[in-house]
């Protein structure tokens, strides 16, 4: 069997195993990346290791550490209590509040990862206290973050615009790159909101199912909490205004809080969900090796054979969505697929590059609820202690994969039929 085909087989083998086995998918992926890269594709060991997403690792660990401090010293508890009281018991408004906040933060420059990193710890705690559920809150938060992530000020928007410029194409950064994502993700979020409100109507609208207990009535912030709250504000301003690195800024602030006595250090490090971190980084490493082994090129060749000018947008969005479900949309999928657009059009003999790039952008991000993407992983990592994270992992994975069909349909309608 040829190496590129074998690479695809190994990748799907890992995905199937993750659904039926208790073994950590990240560890399995790292092992298979080594087997595929070193023994089958004859890569040097350093090439295999280079696929490890160090930046993602730093973000996940550092943000979890920082907000672990905020959780451990009671800062998040008080912020949660204040936000709950602001809606005066009307929990139905909470998911929309986080959706709007995520859109604004992402558009202003934090991007999808920054917005979710900033909001997930508080959103997940509120989801637990109000019985809205981690799945509901995760979907609204991620769709909000992705609705604004193609802003020219945001990391993903900068990547997309840069890749388009390298291809020599002219696309308006607002109307042709930002707006399609905003429109589609907002539409999905709206439908998602009404579906979950219907499914959870007893928890959401029952007057006795949500009450402010004395334990959650906000009290004045103590000195440690004021230090922590100040660090969170600095984090928000640093990411959104000064475009500082999310991971290293979070790490620096967390260490500063520890030195100032607002945290113990060792206790808060236990709040880092190492199991989730290994899952995400391990799979991303395997995907990188599969790409180097030529597995993705096979998919493009296959796409060209089954597509035409009308359905290629939907088909491409579907394939990209499936791949993005277990990989990083911004760091892996978009840089991998957008440069292949001219070659795909050449093999097909026709095609609209603007429509195909928009389909890739949308298809790659509608599935980010997947726990194997950075956004899904951040929400999973910040889920309440009472949440069964193994079950939540599977729910998010199934939900994320199913959205590849929705992304394909939306891309076909918006970009294929025009």
Nearest to 382 by CA among 44, 49, 146, 142: 142
Average pLDDT in the 135-157 region? 93
Q: Provide the greatest CA pair distance for the chain.
A: 68
Q: pLDDT at position 272, please?
A: 84
Residue 209 gets which letter from DSSP?
S
pLDDT for the residue 209:
47
**pLDDT per position as a tens digit, 7-51:** 989 988 887 786 666 778 889 999 999 999 999 999 999 999 998
Q: Do the beta carbons of residue 341 and residue 360 sit within 8 Å?
A: yes
Is the pTM higher than 0.85? Answer: no
Query: Angle CA(389)–CA(394)–CA(399) in degrees, nearest 5?
Result: 120
**Burial tier of 33 (Cβ tally within 10 Å: 0-12, 13-18, 19+):** buried
Q: How many CB atoms lie within 10 A of CB 278?
A: 18
pLDDT tens per residue, range 326-347? 667 876 678 878 887 888 888 7
Give 335's Cβ-side CA count (13 Å radius): 12
What are the C-alpha distances in Å from 212 to residues 81, 130, 175? 8, 10, 44
Q: Are 178 and 157 in contact (CB under 8 A)?
A: yes
Percent of the chain with pLDDT over 70: 93
- The helix (H) or strand (E) run that includes residue 194 is helix 179-199
- 215 burial level (CB within 10 Å; 0-12, 13-18, 19+): exposed
Measured between alpha carbons, how far is 53 from 49 in angstroms, rounded to an integer?
Answer: 9
Task: Please write the tens of the pLDDT for every residue from 88-115.
Answer: 667 788 899 899 989 988 998 788 988 9
Half-sphere exposure of 278 (CA within 13 A, CB side): 12
Contact residues for 147 (Cβ-Cβ < 8 A; gap 6+): 99, 102, 103, 106, 181, 182, 185, 186, 189
Contacts of 61 (CB under 8 A, 6+ apart): 247, 251, 272, 277
CB neighbours of residue 80 within 10 Å: 22
Q: What is the pLDDT of residues 33-43, one digit of tens each?
A: 999 999 999 99
Token representation of residue 279? 């899952």
Is a pLDDT exceeding 90 seen at residue 243?
A: no
In the chain, the N- to C-terminal Cα span, in Å, equals 41
Percent of the chain at pLDDT > 90 equals: 38
Q: Taking 80 as the threshold, does the pLDDT of residue 416 lie above it?
A: no
Average pLDDT over residues 173-185: 91
Question: What's the angle, vertex CA 240, arms to CA 237 and CA 246, rounded to 5?
Answer: 90
Torsion angle of C-alpha atoms 99, 102, 103, 106, degrees rounded to 10: -160
pLDDT greater at residue 183 or residue 209: 183
List the structure tokens of 9. Answer: 């087989």
Closest listed residue to residue 141, CA positions, set 122, 123, 154, 121: 123
Q: Using pLDDT thresholds of 50, 70 and 90, give the confidence band for residue 369.
A: very high
Q: What is the mean pLDDT of the chain?
A: 86
- Distance, CA of 73 to CA of 262 (rounded, Å): 7
Question: For residue 179, what pLDDT is reported?
Answer: 92
């Amino acid at each position: 069997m040829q190496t590129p085909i074998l690479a695809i087989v190994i990748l799907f083998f890992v995905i199937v195993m993750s659904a039926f086995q208790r073994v950590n998918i990240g560890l399995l992926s790292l092992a298979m990346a080594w087997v595929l890269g070193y023994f089958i594709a004859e890569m040097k060991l350093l090439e295999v290791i280079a696929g490890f997403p160090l930046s993602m690792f730093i973000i996940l660990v550092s943000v979890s550490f920082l907000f672990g401090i905020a959780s451990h010293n009671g800062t998040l508890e008080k912020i949660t209590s204040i936000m709950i009281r602001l809606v005066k018991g009307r929990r139905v408004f909470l998911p929309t509040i986080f959706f709007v906040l995520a859109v604004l933060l992402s558009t202003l420059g934090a991007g999808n990862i920054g917005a979710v990193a900033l909001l997930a710890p508080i959103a997940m705690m509120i989801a637990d206290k109000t019985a809205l559920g981690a799945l509901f809150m995760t979907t609204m938060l991620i769709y909000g973050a992705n609705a604004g992530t193609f802003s020219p000020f945001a990391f993903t928007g900068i990547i997309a615009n840069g890749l388009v410029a390298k291809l020599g194409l002219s696309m308006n950064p607002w109307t042709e790159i930002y707006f399609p994502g905003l429109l589609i993700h907002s539409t999905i979020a709206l439908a998602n909101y009404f579906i979950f409100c219907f499914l959870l109507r007893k928890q959401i609208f029952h007057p006795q199912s949500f009450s402010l207990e004395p334990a959650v009535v906000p009290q004045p912030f103590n000195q440690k909490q004021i230090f922590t709250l100040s660090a969170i504000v600095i984090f928000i301003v640093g990411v959104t205004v000064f475009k500082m690195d999310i991971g290293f800024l979070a790490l620096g602030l967390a260490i500063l809080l520890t030195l100032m006595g607002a945290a113990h250090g060792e206790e808060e490090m236990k709040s880092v969900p190492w199991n989730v971190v290994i899952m995400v980084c391990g799979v991303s490493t395997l995907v990188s090796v599969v790409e180097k082994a030529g597995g993705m090129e096979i998919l493009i060749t296959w796409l060209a054979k089954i597509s035409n000018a009308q359905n290629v947008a939907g088909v491409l969005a579907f394939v990209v969505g499936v791949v993005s479900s277990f990989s990083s949309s911004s760091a892996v999928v978009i840089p991998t697929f957008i440069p292949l657009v001219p070659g795909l059009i050449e093999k097909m003999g026709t095609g609209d590059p603007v429509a195909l790039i928009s389909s890739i952008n949308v298809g790659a991000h509608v599935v980010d609820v997947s726990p194997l993407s950075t956004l899904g992983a951040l929400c999973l990592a910040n889920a309440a202690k009472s949440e069964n994270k193994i079950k939540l992992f599977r729910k998010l994975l199934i939900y994320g994969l199913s959205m590849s069909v929705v992304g394909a349909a939306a891309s076909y309608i918006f970009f294929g039929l025009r």
